Amino acid sequence: MLTTTFYEEHPFAQYVRILGKGKNGARPLTQEEAYSAMRMIMADEVEPVQLGAFMILMRVKEETREELAGFIQAARDSFKLPTCMVEVDLDWSSYAGKRRHLPWFILSTLLLAKNGIKVFMHGTRGHTNGRIYTQDVLSYLGIEYAKSYEAAAEQIKQHNFSYLPLEYLCPKLHEIIELRPLMGLRSPVHTLARMLNPFDAPYVMQGIFHPGYRPVHQEAALLLNQSHLAVIKGEGGEIERNPDMECLVQSVHNGELSDEMWLPLFKKRHVKEEVLDPQRLPALWRGEIEDEFAEGTVVGTAAIALKLMGKAASTDEAQDMARQMWASRPKET
C-alpha cells in the first residue's frame, strides 16, 4: 500500500518561491515582503539552504528600491541600540576597499570631524586580494576602531569620528557577507549594509561602483524617509570623488530628488600610484609630502559632503570651503 508523507511548508519558502518561480512566474518582492523576509533572516528563522537560495536569486535579478528599503528597515529594527546614544551628523559607509589609489576619503572624513561635524563610519574588510580596507589603515593615522556601539558613541563625543566594523555593528549581516568566498558572488547585504545608518544621522553619504545602483540607493532613501542623502559613483566603489573626472551626485533632500554634476578639478588626468603605501595618508595630512591628486581627492570629496549638509550654497562655494579647511587643518590627526 502506497503511503504519502506530507510536510508542512517552511514559512520562508514563500519568499524563495516568489523570486524563483521561473521566467514568467517570478516577480520582485514588495517592500512589505522584503521586510518580512529580512526580519526572518535577522532572527535566525531561516535554514542555511534557504538563505543561500534566496541570496543567489536576489543577486541574479538585482534588488529593487522597494526590496532594498524593506531589507534595510528590517535590519535596522533588529538592532539592539543602547538607550544612551550620541547624535551623529553624517553617516559614511566603507565596504568596497581601494585598489587603484589609497583611501584618501578617510582624510576627508577627518577633515570634516576637525571642523565640528560628527561623522560615523561603518564598514568591513573584504575578500578581494590587492585591496586596501579602511579598517586596516586607521592605525596609520593613530585611530582605533570601535568594538561596540557604546565605544563608537564615546569616540564621537571625544573626537567627532568613529569607525565601527560590521561584525560589531550587526553580526548577522557580517556573517552573511562572509559567505562571499563560499558563494562566489556578492549578496544584497553588500548593498543594504551601506545604508544602515544605525545612529539615524540626518545626512548620509553613499558610494557605489556600478552606476545602475546609484538611483536605487537614491530612491530607496526616499522610501525610507531619509532626510538628506548623496550617492556617487565613487573611486573603487568607496565614497571618494575622483578629481580627474566629472562626478554626478544624485541626492535626496526632504522628499525631493535632485541630480547635480560636479566638474573635474584638473584638466589632465594623473598617473595612478605604482605602490599603495598607507604611510602616505598621515604624511599628506601632516604636510610632509605633496600630492596634487590626493589633495584634490580629499578636498573634492569633503566638498560634496559640505554641499549635502547645506554648509555651502553652490559647488564652487563648497569647494572653496573645503580648500580653506584643508589649508587650516591641524597637522596632528
- Express each pLDDT in 87-98 by its tens digit: 999 999 999 999
pLDDT of amino acid 26: 92
What distance in Å separates the CA atoms of residue 146 and residue 240, rounded to the nearest whole number?
A: 22
pLDDT of amino acid 98: 92
This prediction's pTM: 0.93
pLDDT over 60 (residue 4): no
pLDDT over 80 (residue 252): yes
pLDDT of amino acid 183: 81
What is the average pLDDT score of the chain?
A: 93
pLDDT over 90 (residue 211): no
Average pLDDT, integer, range 180-192: 84
Higher local confidence (pLDDT), 116 or 213: 116
- Provide the pairing of β-strand 256-262 with 203-208: unpaired
Domains and CATH numbers, the chain: 13-78 (1.20.970.10), 90-327 (3.40.1030.10)
pLDDT of amino acid 57: 94
Average pLDDT, integer, range 146-155: 94
For residue 51, give the DSSP letter.
H
**Residue type for position 73:** Q
Contact 121, 152 (CB under 8 A): no
pLDDT over 90 (residue 2): no
Contacts 24+ apart (CB under 8 A), 282-288: 282/140, 282/141, 282/142, 282/333, 284/104, 284/107, 285/107, 285/110, 285/141, 285/329, 285/331, 285/333, 286/331, 286/332, 286/333, 287/331
How would residue 320 be classed by pLDDT, with cut points 50, 70 and 90? very high
Question: What's phi and psi for 208, nearest 5 deg?
Answer: -130, 165
pLDDT over 80 (residue 216): yes
